[in-house]
Amino acid sequence: MKKILTLLLCALSGYGHAQIGIGTLEPKAGLHIDEVSVLFSASENILNPRDIPISGTGRRMLWYIDKAAFRVGFVGGIGSTYWDMSNVGHYSFAAGLNSLASGKAGIAMGNSVIATGDAAVAIGFENRAGAASSLALGKNARANHPGACVIGDASASSVADSVYSSDSHQMNMRFTGGYRLFTSQNMTTGVLLAPGAGSWSNVSDKRKKENFGIVDSELILQKLAQLPVTYWNYKTQAATKRHIGPMAQDFYSAFQLDGIGNDTTINSVDIDGVNMAAIQALEKRTKELQLENDQLKARMAALEKQTAVLTKAVMGEMTENKVSASR
């Protein structure tokens, strides 16, 4: 291979516009290799790499064999040194315009993207992956912590609008147009997070449901009344991160005969439905109690009226008797 490359270089130096073909008699470029495998190899790592063949501004495709690194695209202006030896990480890959991959095994692809962490990846526009195993995708994404993943949409108007990580091993995403997560191939079931919203909306279109059944709200209320509800925290969180709610095992025990749930999770749709059914049962009880209360009030009013009439009659009779006795 070295002999072939030497011959090619000699031929190209002798003929400024010569075209060399390997596997073809009609080369269409300065070097045209057709139907032939190409191999660039080295036997082992080099602890002290030799100088990179070329530095500074320019368009190039470079396989820097001493660091087993690859570069293709253009660097210039603020990024003119991005492909200099000191900014080329071992086993790294960079492609595009002013893409920098200085971390070991780092990857940078796109426009003005920088991956300085080891095994970090930055792809898109003006993204930064600055810590080990971090990932920055999209536009103006800043993965500043180890293991962090940051995905930015195109809504940022400047670097100041970047979306960024705030802790290690953290997922961060910004999509001002909202989120749609589907769990069926035809995109009929899933959850939605509307633009500017702070909570998920479940797909609940009646046209996408089947096997409807009548709910016994009173029975659900009775079951719910027996369901233990406690304060607690997840074992993976600090004890100060308190929550309130039932356990999946208790919820499943109460409603499994209705085909609802399992003994490890509680679906928010199910618990919302249970609560709404219980509220309906309470409303029915309230109406019945209100009706009974109104009836009791009416009876009391009638009794009070009768009592007043009787009292008046008795008082009148007593007055007449007193007058008769005085004669």
In which residue ranges of the chain is pLDDT below 70? 1-17, 323, 327
What confidence score (pLDDT) does residue 5 get?
52
What confidence score (pLDDT) does residue 1 get?
46
- Name the residue ranges covered by the structural domains of the chain: 1-39, 54-176, 213-327
What confidence score (pLDDT) does residue 14 get?
47
- The domain made up of 213-327 has a fold known as Arc Repressor Mutant, subunit A (1.10.10)
> Using CA atoms, how far apart are residues 156 and 98, in angstroms rounded to an integer?
20
What confidence score (pLDDT) does residue 264 get?
94
> Using CA atoms, how far apart are residues 89 and 55, in angstroms rounded to an integer?
14
Spatial CA neighbour of 61 closest among 90, 86, 31, 34: 31
Which tokens sit at 218? 């009173």
Helices (H) and strands (E) in the chain, counts: 4, 20
Spatial CA neighbour of 102 closest among 114, 125, 137, 75: 114
Please count the other Cβ atoms lying within 10 Å of the Cβ belonging to residue 149: 20
What confidence score (pLDDT) does residue 236 get?
93
> Using CA atoms, how far apart are residues 66 and 50, in angstroms rounded to an integer?
7
Which tokens sit at 28? 């269409």
DSSP per position, 130-167 = -STT-EEEEESEEE-STT-EEEE-S--SSGGG-EE--S
What confidence score (pLDDT) does residue 128 get?
98
CA distances from 126 to 40, 99, 226, 282 (A): 32, 9, 56, 57
Helix (H) or strand (E) run with residue 73 in it: strand 69-75
Q: What is the CATH number of domain 54-176?
A: 2.150.10.10
Q: What is the dihedral of CA 195, 201, 205, 209, to 10 degrees?
A: 140
> Using CA atoms, how far apart are residues 193 and 190, in angstroms rounded to an integer?
10
Mention every residue, 6+ apart, whose C-beta is less than 8 A from residue 5. none
